[in-house]
Structure 1
């Protein structure tokens, strides 16, 4: 199982969207407090639609609590400050992919301690960053692709309608 970690997320709509993506991808969501919203907030539930109750989510008091409860975890840090892109690494089955809060990203002191596992999404020009929920989807689905989308539905089915021509 892949793990998505949000370090102090601020916007309930982003976290709701990410929760929905985690349900669709079979990933666990880890939330590191403080959060910029309450978990029962309407915007969070609206963005997550009716998937929030299916979400495997764990909440931590702070980063130290997260580290204590996940000793030895392989954690990739998504940051615009990384030298490697998200496609340059091989994601382990049970790895963690961490994203920072919308306004500031992952704190510099955490990044410095984990520089070898920092990854970035390439962007053109002076763009500061992508939307958090988009960033999570991009990196999570690359990790899933590397594992051949195991246990996921790979085929869709069209419903053939009989159209009446006049």
Structure 2
């Protein structure tokens, strides 16, 4: 069992659907000593070869917790007293102006659809990566890296 209180910052992926991105995020988390939550159902099997190729041998070092659904994830969040910070293109506050706190969980939606309204409603904070006009979104692994980098900078983790 992973000691979830050990990690001052967590990455949560809501029903991820691209295994290569998830593998890249797991690799990032292992390298930065961050924990990852995957909220099922994922759009792929976690034994997927694309996941393994992107994550390489780092996946074994990643602190990964799988939650069978959104409700179970919320129970784990509440038990740890963590704040939920949602990265979304629908937010107004840029991530660089957001005050991250120890214990934050950075939540990212599905690559294909983001998160549903009921997930938006549960977030304690909503942040956006400002982009050039006419552009929709960045690759999720890049977004995770950018937000984690800023949170780590602020927290000096």
Normalised by the length of structure 2, the TM-score is 0.90
Residue of structure 2 in register with 1:45 after alignment = 52
Query: Residues of 2 paired with 1:53 and 1:111: CA distance?
Result: 31
**By how many angstroms is 1:51 displaced?**
0.4
Q: Which residue of 1 aligns with 2:130?
A: 122
Which structure has the highest helix share of the two? 2
Q: TM-score, normalised by structure 1?
A: 0.85
Structure 1: 4+ residue segments shifted above 4 A? none
Aligned residue in 2 for 1:162? none
Instruction: Report deviation, 1:88.
Output: 1.5
Q: 2:114 aligns with which of 105, 114, 134?
A: 105
Structure 1 position 117, deviation (Å) = 0.4
Structure 1, unaligned stretches of length 5 or more?
A: 151-166
Indicate the residue corresponding to 1:144 in structure 2.
152
Separation (CA, whole Å) in 1 of partners of 2:21 and 2:77: 24
The structure having more radius of gyration, on CA atoms, is 1
Partner deviation per Cα, 1:50-73 (whole Å, 9 max, x = no partner)? 101000000001111100122032
Equivalent residue for 1:66? 73
1:109: how far off? 2.2
Considering only aligned residues, what root-mean-square deviation do their CA atoms show, in Å? 1.1
Contact 1:17 1:47 survives alignment (8 Å)? yes
In 2, Cα distance between equivalents of 1:147 and 1:60? 27
The SS at the match of 2:25 is: helix
Are positions 1:14 and 2:13 aligned together?
A: no
SS of 1:3 mapped into structure 2: strand
The answer to whether 1:83 aligns with 2:104 is no
The number of residues matched between the two structures is 148
What are the within-5 Å matches in structure 2 for residues 147-166 of structure 1? 147-148=155-156, 150=157
8 Å contact 1:2–1:26 — kept in the other structure? no
> Which residue does 2:3 correspond to in 1?
none
Change (3 A) 1:113 1:70: closer
